[in-house]
A and B are shown apart, each in its own frame.
Chain A
Amino acid sequence: MMNLVLYVWRQKNAQSQGQMVRYDAKNVSPDMSFLEMLDVINEELISKGQDPIAFDHDCREGICGSCGLMINGQAHGPKKATTTCQLHMRSFKDGDSIYIEPWRAKAFPVIKDLVVDRSSFDRIIQAGGYVSVSTGNAPDANSTPVPKTNADKAMDAASCIGCGACVASCPNSSAMLFTSAKIGHLGLLPQGQPERKERVLNMVTTMDKEGFGSCTNHRECEAACPKEITVDFIARMNRDYLWASLTYQKPSARGGGE
């Protein structure tokens, strides 16, 4: 059992000013997950009639991407390739102080306490993070072979859970790793080729518009990513973007023959 001191960011809503508040966490079991430790604190707060700490979470098995806390200055805490919900208290020592903050970025405004609005990520996907194939359009799945190495690499990129740790950890609050993962995933597959140029141009434009910072290759994102997506996908996106900027032509306005 451990006793810890927590400093937690409390902010009533988007409009109000927040501050760090101290809480004592007593008798913490090392087998608890980080979020279970917060659950226990919240139960105590409620019993005392105090507002519990709001934080996003859902699957608690590291795949939905809902949870995300800045723990002692590291996105998702000190353990490599681990989301906040999968971080266990055995990663800390008795007597430790733990600073808990929300993801901080202009494009991720705080909703309450540790909960932020990440809808900017959805808007980046809306700008082109898909193959425009309507239901029923598809040919037989095996009619388009995909080299195994490409399929595997595409999967590496596609394993992004959209948690936002890349943005949170980036000294510039850049969303390059998130955006490039989707562009890399689709760009590596034959299905993604027809829209490849428009996709990268539109997604990057949207990313910039959402107010994310710029990439200066610190590689903090790669270190924080719970799915270990590499910055190689950023380079790939840069290359695609450059090429698309130089060669993309708008489709003919003459349209189809109806």
Chain B
Amino acid sequence: MQLDSKIPSGPIEKKWDTHRFEMKLVNPANKRKYNIIVVGSGLAGASAAASMAELGYNVKCFCYQDSPRRAHSIAAQGGINAAKNYQNDGDSIYRLFYDTVKGGDFRAREANVYRLAQISVNIIDQCAAQGVPFAREYSGLLANRSFGGAQVSRTFYARGQTGQQLLLGAYQALERQIYLGKVEMFPRTEMLDLIIIDGKARGITARNLVTGKIESFIADAVVLGTGGYGNVFYLSTNAKNSNATAIWRAYKRGAGFGNPCFTQIHPTCIPVSGDYQSKLTLMSESLRNDGRIWVPKQKGDKRPAQQIPEDDRDYYLERRYPSFGNLVPRDVASRAAKAVCDEGRGVGETALGVYLDFGAAIKRSGEDVIREKYGNLFDMYQRITDENPYKQPMRIYPAVHYTMGGLWVDYNLMSTIAGLFIIGEANFSDHGANRLGASALMQGLADGYFVIPYTIGNYLANASLQKIDSSHQGVKQVESEVSERIKKLLSIKGKRTVDSIHRELGKLVWDECGMARNAEGLKRGLEKIPGIKEEFWKNVNVLGEGQDFNQSLEKAGRVADFLELAELMFMDAFAREESCGGHFRTEYQNTEGEALRNDIDFSHAAVWEYQGEGKKPLRHKEELSFEYVHLAQRSYK
């Protein structure tokens, strides 16, 4: 596998401009001769599909939801970063670039991150022009707020629904192109495999989720914007149907998978309440601005929170990190919560939770002020837990939230398969080993609106593509493999439900490859996964027909892929013998329990190449060099 990152030469500020000039263009009359497939309709997919259609390409866009407006980007609450420096507080493109590389614990590609910071300003302009109702000051100008991991106010937001509003902006742009006939939309259609002909990605095989029809679609390039794989954990803040099938199928067809073990655990989620729990709900990180996190000093202290006196409380973040206190980055806060719960000091019925207490803040600024700031979050908390957070502290616990890993891409966002582009959370991304708050929306839209429309033109102008149609031998081959797989899933008719196996897998991944990992646990996991896989293929019960609306079948296909992906995660986590960002190996920590990076041996992106069924995949490296942001240990003491 050849890993050529294709980073343009020249100083970092000039790379993207130079590259844009050097890329070949497709003339407007010729654009309409090209067909492009976009899978996924979230921020990345919808913005890419709309922008490419505006340029004149013929786009086919696919999503499993009933409407592109429902993609899970919609659930992002906090905001979107942009280096506008509207607040005159010293922000700049360079600072956003610097913060992102550092926040990612030096495991991202500098050139990509710089481009992301450059483009961030255009995103805000574009979205405002679309009518995204960003928060405004009384002057009518845009408001900003501050967010974790930055010392400037650069986050733009639309109440607690920024992801929703940005997605609706992209969705509306997409619907406009559908109306104009430039995009053909396929909702309730799930990509099940990638078609490669002569070494180039030429289409997908998909299942119509309503009729069950398996159909292939041919194009000149394929773009995947299918999101992350957090649902490998079963319980996560992802949407229930978010899945890794598209990227996993592409991996199995030859696309390199970058850093699969880099997953982000968000510290402020509502804890699990019972076995029936189907997903976890995030509470915005902004709560940590006013809430104080604590647990009882004594193990197994079962008194209600209000009856535990100050002296018996341990404000462990404030104790361990006096200068950042409750505002340490996500990975640090999450690990600390796990540590106190492991000691047996967790709160709530399951003892997997810590208090997030607003008592002091309410006393200081009054209930009204707190209500104005966080009212909607408090309401949501109360709806779910039936507890009043104005009267008693919230209980929170970390949960899987985002995956920094994904398919490896070069500077042009092209994977190791020619003509296969990966955008948004689905690629291995610009966030390195840890993503800063309010940066996911930025990356998804940067890729979709402002990167892919250029780089795909360069690919198409250079590629010589033979004409094919869906009767091609290669297409038929993929189609029959997809049908076989479905048939197999439906024929097992065992005893266990898909969910029960998914839950078992999720628990294993969470326990052994979650917030803290070590060689022993990872080995244990690697031994157990094949057993779960076997159990799945022997004993799962998928009812119904293939030619039907069949949600169990959909789930089964996704879980089958998660089982394989989990194994790769474990391998990657095992191979990366260091701690960095969201990847914390307990063997690699300093005396104070902080993550210890190994820049000499691991300053690279690990890229895995599939070798075939039953064979161990190959681990390749893309060496990362840091010319602008100097390697340093993060410290939040």
The answer to whether A and B touch in the complex, with CB atoms under 8 Å apart, is yes
A residues in contact (CB < 8 Å) with B = 13, 29-33, 35-37, 39-40, 43, 46-47, 49-52, 54, 56-66, 79, 82, 86, 88, 90, 111-112, 115, 117-119, 121-122, 125-127, 129-142, 144-148, 151-152, 154-155, 158-159, 161-162, 185-186, 189, 191-192
Q: Does any Cβ of A come within 8 Å of B569's Cβ?
A: no
Is B176's CB under 8 angstroms from A130's CB? yes
Chain B residues near A30: list those with CB within 8 A.
386
Query: Provided the pairs A32-B276, A126-B176 are in contact, do residues A64 and B70 lie with their beta carbons within 8 angstroms?
Result: yes
CA distance A142 to B175 in the complex (A): 26
- Give per-residue flags for B286-320: 1 if the beta carbon is below 8 A from chain A beta carbons, else 0: 00000000000000000000000000000000000
Q: CB distance A58 to B65 under 8 Å?
A: yes
Q: Which of B54, B168, B273, B380 has the most CB of A within 10 A?
A: B168
A151-B544 contact, Cβ under 8 Å, with A32-B274, A135-B450: no
Which residues of chain B are within 8 angstroms of A47 by Cβ–Cβ distance? 495, 497, 541
**Closest A-chain residue to B73, C-beta based?**
A64
Contact of A141 among B137, B142, B164, B279 (CB under 8 A): B142
What residues of chain B lie closer than 8 Å to A82, measured between beta carbons?
383
Q: A135-B126, A151-B136 are in contact. Are A158 and B165 (CB under 8 A)?
A: yes
Which of chain B's residues have a CB closer than 8 A to the CB of A130? 130-131, 172-173, 175-176
For the complex, is B138 an interface residue (Cβ under 8 Å from A)?
Answer: yes
A-B pairs with beta carbons under 8 Å apart, 9 shown? A35-B278, A39-B276, A60-B240, A61-B237, A122-B185, A142-B86, A151-B134, A155-B158, A158-B168
B332 at the interface (CB under 8 A from A): no
Indicate if B384 sits at the interface (CB-CB under 8 A): yes
Bound form: Cα–Cα A144–B133 in Å: 12
Check B131 against A186 for contact (C-beta < 8 Å).
Answer: yes
Contact B133 A139 (CB under 8 A): no
Taking A126-B176, A127-B179, A142-B86 as contacts, is the C-beta distance between A52 and B551 under 8 angstroms?
A: yes
By beta carbon, the residue of chain B nearest A31 is: B273
Q: Is there a chain A Cβ closer than 8 Å to B557's Cβ? A: no
Residues on A with beta carbons closer than 8 Å to the beta carbon of B50: 135
What residues of A have a CB within 8 angstroms of the CB of B70 in the complex? 58-59, 64-66, 162
Q: Are A59 and B74 neighbours in the complex by a CB distance under 8 Å? A: yes
B549-571 CB mask vs A (1 if < 8 Å, else 0) is 10110000000000000000000
Nearest-neighbor residue (CB-CB) of B137 within chain A: A148
Give every chain A residue within 8 A of B276 (Cβ-Cβ): 29, 32, 36-37, 39-40
- Whether B383 lies near A141 (C-beta < 8 A) is no
B75 CB contact (under 8 Å) in A59, A137, A159: A59
Q: Please give, as numbers and ranges, the residues of chain B lying within 8 Å of A162 by CB-CB distance.
A: 67, 69-70
Specify the chain B residue showing the minimal Cβ separation from A206: B179
Closest chain B residue to A56, Cβ basis? B66
Chain B residues closer than 8 Å to A151, beta-carbon distance? 133-136, 140
Given contacts A118-B66, A135-B450, contact A125 B172 (CB under 8 A): yes
B74 engages A63 (CB within 8 Å): yes
Selected contact of A115 from candidates B127, B138, B240, B549, CB within 8 Å: B549
Q: How many residues of B contact A (CB 8 A)?
A: 82
Whether B632 is near chain A, meaning CB under 8 Å from some CB there, is: no
Contacting pair B178 A126 (CB below 8 A): yes
- Contact A43 B273, beta carbon cutoff 8 Å: no
Contact partner, A121, options B67, B185, B497, Cβ 8 Å: B67
B57 interface residue (CB < 8 Å to A): no
- Contacts beyond the supplied A65-B69, A129-B172: 15 A-B pairs with Cβ under 8 Å: A31-B385, A37-B276, A47-B497, A49-B541, A49-B543, A54-B551, A58-B239, A59-B70, A59-B72, A140-B125, A145-B139, A145-B140, A159-B159, A159-B164, A191-B130
Tell me, yes or no, whether B218 is within 8 Å of chain A by CB. no
In the complex, A23 Cα to B450 Cα: how many Å?
Answer: 52
Known pairs A135-B453, A139-B125; A39 contacts B133 (CB<8 A): no
- Enumerate chain A residues within 8 angstroms of B455, measured Cβ to Cβ: none
Question: A29-B274, A127-B179, A191-B128 are contacts. A64–B133 as well, Cβ < 8 Å?
Answer: no
Partner of A144, one of B74, B128, B450: B128
- Point out the residue from A136, A148, A192 that lies within 8 Å of B140, measured CB to CB: A148
Are A119 and B67 in contact, CB atoms less than 8 angstroms apart? Answer: yes
Residue numbers in B under 8 Å from A158 (CB-CB) = 133, 158, 165, 168
Closest approach, in angstroms, between the C-beta of B383 and any C-beta of chain A?
Answer: 6
Complex CA gap A148/B158 in Å reads 12
Q: How far is the CA of A161 from the CA of B67 in the complex (A)?
A: 11
8 A-B pairs with least C-beta separation: A145-B140, A130-B172, A138-B129, A141-B128, A138-B125, A126-B179, A155-B133, A135-B51
Supposing A66-B65, A158-B133 touch, asked if A111 and B139 sit within 8 A by C-beta, the answer is: no
Bound Cα distance A136, B127 (Å)? 10
**Complex Cα–Cα for A56 and B210 (A):** 12
- Are the C-beta atoms of B159 and A155 separated by less than 8 Å? yes
